[in-house]
C-alpha cells in the first residue's frame, strides 16, 4: 500500500516523512489478543529537523487487498487533526473472535502534506467469550503421590486433516505448565506457559499459528504437563499444591480449509495419557529425566498407544480465561563456558562468568543407565566449592540418566535456576567447555536503553543492573531467581520500575502483573506484599504502594492512560484502606511493616543506628500514594475525586510535619531515609526543604560519605541530593567503592545486583544463609539516576511518554563523558556529553514528532558551527540565571558550551 493516496489527494505533494514501526498493544503483529479496542502506535521517519505530525488517518480492514485500495471496511478514521502517534484507540466496527484485522496509517506533516500510506500491519483476535471454547478440561487418569513431584504426564490424540488447509490456530492452556507438539514438532517457542497469574481469577491461554505443522491425512497432537507454580513446591517448608492438586489441559485446534469449511480438534474423553522420561520437574528442585523412558514418536499419528491410560473430565472454569498481554518467556541467548575446573570436593565446576537464569545444555555420550548430576550455584565458597547454602531448601539440581549409544544432548524443560556455576558429577570422560552451554531464559523484553560512561566500574554496574533485570523478569517480576522463594515482591518492583523501563520494554510484563495485583487485592483494598499472592500477607507500607506507584509510572513512561483506567479502583482501594487504618489522625502507626528493608546498621558502636521509624515511613507513603491517586483522578477527569484526595493530601502533609518534624527542622529518627522520603515526596513546606537537605548531607558525612539506606530510601537518595544542590555528594556516593556502596559489589566481582550491601564480605565469607541472594534488582534502582541525571534524559510529566522531554545532563565526579540511549514510543532519544579542556560538548538526538527542552550552563553556546539562537531547528532560547534552556524539535544536535 506504500505510496498510494486517496484520489482527492493526488494533486497534493507527498510528504518526505514516512510512517514506520506500526505496533498494536505494544506488539508488532500480535496473535490471539482479547482487547476489544486495541491501541495502535507508529513512528515517523525522515531526514532533517523538526519533523512532526499534524494529522493522521487510520484504515482497518478484513483483508490486505482492501487496504491496497485505500479502503477500510472495518474502520476509516478519516483525517484526525492530532499530533498523537501512540496509544490511538481503535474506533471501528466491533471485533470478532479469531479474526485477523489489517491496518495502515498515513499522516500529514507540519506543512500539511500527506505521507504515503504505511505498509500494512495486522493483529488477530483470540477467543473473546467463554462460549467460544468447545474444548473440555481433562486431566490424566494416572495414579500420583500428591506429596512429591510426580512424573510429568503425556497426553495425546489423533485426528484427520481432509483438504487443503488455509489456516490453523491452536488455543491452549493448562493447570500447571504445558508444552505442546503436533506431528512430532514443538508448537511455538514459549516457555513456562500458560504463565503465573492469580489462577483463581485469571488464567492465560496462548494462541499459536500451527498451519505449517499439519499434514494431509492422519495427524496427532501431544501435550506434556508440568507442575510449575500451580502445584509444585512454592514458598517455604515443603509446601506444594497451592492452587490445586490436579494438572489439567484445555486444547482447541481450529482448522480452516481453503474451501470454506472449518472444524475443531478439542480436548475430551478420546484423549489418552501416560508418563514419559520426566520423572520429576519442579521450579525449585530441578528436573529428573530418564532418557531410557522416552517414547519415540509419541506425538505422531502412527504411534501405538494401546497401553496408555485414559483421561477424566476436570471441573475447571472457562470463565476467567484471558489472552496474554506480554510476549511470554523464551530462550533469549546462550553463554559459553568460561572455564572447567575440579573443586576441592571433586566436583567438575563450570564457570560461565555471568550470574544468570536458565539452565545448562550439555552434550554427553555414555552407557545406558549412567547418571549425570547438575547442581547450580551463584558463587563459590572460601574453599572453592559450589556454594548452595543460600538456596535454603531449593535443591536446584537436574539429573539425567543416559539412554546409551550415540551422543545425547540434555536440557530441562519445566524448571529454571539462578547460577553462575554448574557442578557436574557422573560425566563419562573429561568434560570439555564446548560440550556445555548456559541457556538464558526470561520474559521477552526488547532492549530499549543503554548507558555507558568513562568510569569502567560504573559500566559494570550498569551491566549488573541489566542482568539483574533479566534474571528476575521471568513471567513475574521476582525478588530472586535461585532460592525457595522467587516471588513477585511488590516493593522490589515499585522501586526498580523506572530503571526497568529504561533498560527494556516491560509494558506488557508489568501490565499483566498489575492485573494480578488488582485480582489478588483484598475486598477492603488491602494489597498483598507479593503478586501473585500465594503468601497471604498484606498491609505493608511501600509494598502495597505498588498499587499506585506502578500504574502511574507506566502512564508517565508509556502515555498509557488505559492502565490508569483499569487500575483506578485498585489505586483508590489502597489509599482508602490506609485512611481507614489511620483515622482522622492521618498517622499510620498500626500493623506490621518491613520498613526500610535491609538498611545499614552503624559501623561504629559509638554511633546511633540510623533507624527510620515505621510510623514516619508509612505516613510518607500514605501521602505519596494519595498524591498519585489525586493526579490519576485529574488525568481521568474524575474532578470530585481529585478535589477530595487533594484535600486529604494537604491534611496528611500537615499531620506528618506536626508529628515528625521538630521546630528546628529535625526529622524524627534523623535517618538518611527519613530526610529522603520527606524531600522526595514534597512533604515539607518549601521554606524547610533546604535545611532538611543540609541535614541529609550532614548525616551522610557523619558516616564518612556512605549511605545507610535500605530498599525504600536508596532509590531516591541521589535524586534528592542532586535536586537540592548536593550533586557532588551524590557522585561521591555513586563512586564510593567501600562498603556500603554500589561499587563495593562490583569490586568484588559481582555480575548482577545483590540483595544485601554485603552479601559477600571482603574476607570471602557470606552474610546470613537465611536470606542472601546474589541476584536481586532492588538496589539497581540507581540506574534510573544514571539515565535521568548523569545522562540527563528526562520526560516532561505534562506530556507523558516522552512526547516532550527534558535533556539536562549533570556532569560530576570523576566522569569525563557519558552517553545514554532510550527507545521511546516515538523513537530513539540520545544524550552524549564530553568534558574537554573546560568545554562541555553535548550531542542530542530527538525523535520525530516530539520536542525537547535542553538545559545547559549559561555561556557561549554553539550548535554545530553557529550560535545556538541562529541554528536550524532551534525553537527558542531562554536564559535562566546560570542556566539556559533551548527548545528544539526533532533531529540531531551538537552543542558546545
Q: Is 523 exposed, middle or buried (0-12, 13-18, 19+ CB in 10 A)?
A: exposed
Query: For 600, which DSSP code?
Result: P
Name the region of 582 (left: φ>0; alpha: ψ -120 to 50; beta: rest): alpha
Q: How far apart are CA 896 and CA 127, in angstroms?
A: 57
Phi, psi of 452, rounded to the nearest 5 degrees:
-140, 160
168, 211 Cβ separation under 8 angstroms: yes
* Residue 124 is among the residues annotated as catalytic for this protein: no
CB 868 within 8 A of CB 887: no
- Residue owning grid cell 558429577: 425
Are 444 and 327 a contacting pair, CB within 8 Å? yes
- To which residue does cell 487418569 refer? 141
CB 320 within 8 A of CB 137: no
Q: Name the grid cell of 616.
A: 514516619
d(CA 120, CA 270): 42
d(CA 31, CA 666): 57
Tell me how far apart the alpha carbons of residues 777 and 3 are, in angstroms, rounded to a whole number: 47
DSSP helix, strand, coil percent of the chain (3-state; round to 5)? 25, 30, 45
CB 647 within 8 A of CB 639: no
Write the DSSP string, 253-287: EEEEETTS-EEEEE-STT-EEEE-SEEEEETTTEE
Max CA separation in the chain (angstroms): 86
Q: Do 227 and 133 meet the contact criterion of CB atoms below 8 Å apart? A: no
Helix (H, G, I), strand (E, B) or coil at 625: helix
Partners of residue 330 on adjacent β-strands: 442
Q: How far is CA 338 from CA 349, 383, 440, in A?
A: 11, 20, 15
DSSP β-bridge partners for residue 793: 807
Q: For the chain, state the CA radius of gyration.
A: 29
DSSP secondary structure code for residue 479 in this structure: S
Strand, coil or helix: 846? strand
822 contact partners, CB below 8 Å, separation of at least 6: 448, 449, 502, 787, 793, 802, 828, 829, 830
| CA angle 836–838–841, rounded 5-degree value | 50
Q: Determine whether 643 is an active site residue.
A: no
Short-list 686, 688, 681, 676, CA closest to 726: 676
Kindly name the residue from 136, 181, 287, 485 that is annotated as catalytic.
485
Pairwise CA distance, residues 486 & 415, whole Å: 12
Closest of 516, 508, 515, 505 to residue 325, by C-alpha: 508
Question: How many C-beta atoms lie closer than 10 Å to residue 795's C-beta?
Answer: 20
What the block records as the C-alpha cell of 501 is 523501563
Strands 874-880 and 476-477: what pairing? unpaired
Alpha-helical segments (H) within 752-891? 782-785
Distance CA 422, CA 414 (A): 18
Q: ∠ at Cα 775 (770, 777), nearest 5°?
A: 110
Residue 722 neighbours by CB distance under 10 Å: 20
Task: Please give the Cα distance from 806 to 840 (Å, whole number).
Answer: 17
Among residues 287, 755, 823, 830, which one is catalytic? 755
For residues 848 and 291, what is the distance between their CA atoms, to the nearest angstrom? 56
* Catalytic positions: 485, 755
Amino acid at each position: 500500500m506504500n505510496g498510494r493516496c486517496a484520489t482527492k489527494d493526488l494533486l497534493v505533494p507527498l510528504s518526505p516523512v514516512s510512517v514506520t514501526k506500526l505496533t498494536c498493544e505494544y506488539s508488532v503483529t500480535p496473535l490471539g489478543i482479547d482487547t476489544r479496542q486495541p491501541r495502535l502506535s507508529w513512528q515517523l521517519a525522515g531526514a532533517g529537523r523538526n519533523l512532526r505530525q499534524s494529522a493522521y488517518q487510520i484504515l482497518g480492514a478484513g483483508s490486505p487487498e482492501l487496504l491496497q485500495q485505500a479502503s477500510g471496511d472495518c474502520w476509516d478514521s478519516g483525517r484526525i487533526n492530532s499530533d498523537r502517534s501512540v496509544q490511538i484507540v481503535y474506533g471501528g466496527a466491533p471485533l470478532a473472535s479469531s479474526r485477523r484485522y489489517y491496518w495502515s496509517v498515513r499522516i500529514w506533516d507540519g506543512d500539511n502534506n500527506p505521507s504515503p500510506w504505511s505498509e500494512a500491519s495486522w493483529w488477530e483476535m483470540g477467543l473473546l467469550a467463554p462460549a467460544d471454547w468447545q474444548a473440555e478440561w481433562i486431566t490424566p487418569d494416572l495414579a500420583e503421590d500428591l506429596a512429591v513431584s510426580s512424573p510429568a504426564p503425556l497426553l495425546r490424540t489423533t485426528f484427520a486433516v481432509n483438504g487443503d488447509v488455509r489456516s490453523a490456530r491452536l488455543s491452549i492452556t493448562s493447570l500447571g505448565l504445558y508444552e505442546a507438539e503436533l506431528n512430532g514438532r514443538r508448537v511455538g517457542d514459549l516457555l513456562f506457559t500458560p504463565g503465573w497469574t492469580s489462577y483463581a481469577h485469571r488464567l492465560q491461554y496462548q494462541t499459536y499459528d500451527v498451519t505449517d505443522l499439519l499434514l494431509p491425512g492422519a495427524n496427532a497432537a501431544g501435550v506434556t504437563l508440568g507442575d510449575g507454580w500451580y502445584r509444585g513446591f512454592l514458598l517455604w517448608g515443603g509446601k506444594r499444591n497451592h492452587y490445586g492438586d490436579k494438572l489439567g489441559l484445555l486444547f482447541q485446534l481450529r482448522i480452516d480449509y481453503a474451501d470454506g469449511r472449518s472444524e475443531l480438534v478439542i480436548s475430551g474423553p478420546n484423549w489418552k495419557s501416560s508418563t514419559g522420561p520426566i520423572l520429576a520437574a519442579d521450579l525449585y528442585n530441578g528436573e529428573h529425566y530418564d532418557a531410557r523412558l522416552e517414547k519415540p514418536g509419541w506425538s505422531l499419528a502412527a504411534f501405538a498407544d494401546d497401553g496408555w491410560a485414559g483421561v477424566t473430565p476436570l471441573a475447571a472454569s472457562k470463565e476467567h480465561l484471558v489472552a496474554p498481554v506480554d510476549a511470554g518467556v523464551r530462550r533469549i541467548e546462550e553463554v559459553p563456558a568460561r572455564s572447567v575446573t575440579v573443586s576441592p570436593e571433586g566436583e567438575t565446576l563450570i564457570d560461565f562468568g555471568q550470574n544468570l537464569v536458565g539452565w545448562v545444555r550439555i552434550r554427553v555420550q555414555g552407557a545406558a543407565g549412567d547418571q549425570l548430576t547438575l547442581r547450580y550455584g551463584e558463587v563459590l565458597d572460601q574453599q572453592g566449592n559450589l556454594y548452595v547454602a543460600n538456596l535454603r531448601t531449593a535443591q536446584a539440581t537436574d539429573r539425567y540418566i543416559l539412554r546409551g549409544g550415540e551422543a545425547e544432548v540434555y536440557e530441562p524443560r519445566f524448571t529454571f535456576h539462578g547460577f553462575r556455576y554448574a557442578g557436574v558429577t557422573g560425566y563419562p570422560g573429561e568434560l570439555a567447555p564446548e560440550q556445555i552451554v548456559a541457556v538464558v531464559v526470561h520474559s521477552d523484553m526488547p532492549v530499549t536503553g543503554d548507558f555507558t560512561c568513562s568510569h569502567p566500574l560504573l559500566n559494570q554496574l550498569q551491566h549488573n543492573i541489566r542482568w539483574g533485570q533479566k534474571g528476575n523478569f521471568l513471567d513475574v517480576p521476582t525478588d530472586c531467581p535461585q532460592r525457595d522463594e522467587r516471588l513477585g515482591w511488590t516493593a522490589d518492583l515499585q522501586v526498580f520500575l523506572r530503571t526497568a523501563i529504561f533498560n527494556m520494554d516491560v509494558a506488557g510484563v508489568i501490565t499483566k502483573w498489575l492485573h494480578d495485583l488488582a485480582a489478588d487485592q483484598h475486598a477492603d483494598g488491602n494489597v498483598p506484599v507479593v503478586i501473585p499472592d500465594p503468601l497471604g500477607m498484606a498491609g505493608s507500607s511501600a509494598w502495597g504502594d505498588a498499587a499506585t506507584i506502578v500504574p502511574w509510572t507506566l502512564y508517565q513512561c508509556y502515555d498509557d492512560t488505559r492502565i490508569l483506567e483499569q487500575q483506578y479502583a485498585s489505586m483508590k482501594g489502597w489509599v482508602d484502606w490506609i485512611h481507614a487504618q489511620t483515622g482522622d489522625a492521618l498517622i499510620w502507626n498500626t500493623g506490621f511493616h518491613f520498613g526500610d528493608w535491609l538498611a545499614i546498621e552503624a559501623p561504629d558502636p559509638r554511633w546511633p543506628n540510623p533507624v527510620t521509624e515505621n510510623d514516619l515511613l508509612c505516613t510518607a507513603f500514605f501521602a505519596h500514594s494519595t498524591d498519585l491517586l489525586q493526579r490519576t483522578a485529574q488525568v481521568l477527569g474524575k474532578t470530585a475525586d481529585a478535589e477530595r484526595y487533594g484535600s486529604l493530601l494537604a491534611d496528611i502533609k500537615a499531620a506528618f510535619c506536626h508529628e515528625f518534624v521538630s521546630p528546628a527542622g529535625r526529622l524524627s529518627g534523623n535517618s538518611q531515609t527519613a530526610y529522603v522520603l520527606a524531600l522526595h515526596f514534597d512533604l515539607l513546606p518549601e521554606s524547610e526543604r533546604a535545611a532538611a537537605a543540609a541535614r541529609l548531607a550532614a548525616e551522610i558525612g557523619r558516616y564518612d560519605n556512605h549511605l545507610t539506606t535500605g530498599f525504600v530510601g536508596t532509590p531516591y537518595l541521589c535524586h534528592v541530593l542532586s535536586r537540592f544542590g548536593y550533586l557532588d555528594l551524590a557522585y561521591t556516593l555513586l563512586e564510593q567503592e567501600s562498603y556500603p556502596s554500589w561499587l563495593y559489589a562490583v569490586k568484588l566481582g559481582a555480575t548482577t545486583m545483590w540483595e544485601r550491601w554485603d552479601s559477600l564480605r571482603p574476607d570471602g565469607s557470606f552474610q546470613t544463609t537465611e536470606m542472601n541472594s546474589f541476584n536481586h534488582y532492588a538496589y539497581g534502582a540507581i540506574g534510573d539516576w544514571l539515565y535521568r541525571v548523569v545522562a540527563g534524559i528526562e520526560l516532561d510529566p505534562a506530556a507523558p511518554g516522552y512526547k516532550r522531554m527534558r535533556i539536562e545532563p549533570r556532569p560530576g565526579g570523576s566522569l569525563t563523558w557519558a552517553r545514554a540511549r532510550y527507545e521511546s514510543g516515538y523513537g530513539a532519544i540520545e544524550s552524549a556529553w564530553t568534558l574537554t579542556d573546560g568545554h562541555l560538548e553535548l550531542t542530542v538526538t530527538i525523535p520525530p514528532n516530539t520536542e525537547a527542552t535542553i538545559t545547559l550552563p549559561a555561556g557561549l553556546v554553539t550548535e554545530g558551527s553557529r550560535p545556538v539562537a541562529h541554528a536550524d531547528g532551534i525553537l527558542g532560547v531562554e536564559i535562566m540565571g546560570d542556566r539556559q534552556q533551548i527548545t528544539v524539535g526533532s533531529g540531531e544536535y551538537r552543542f558546545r558550551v
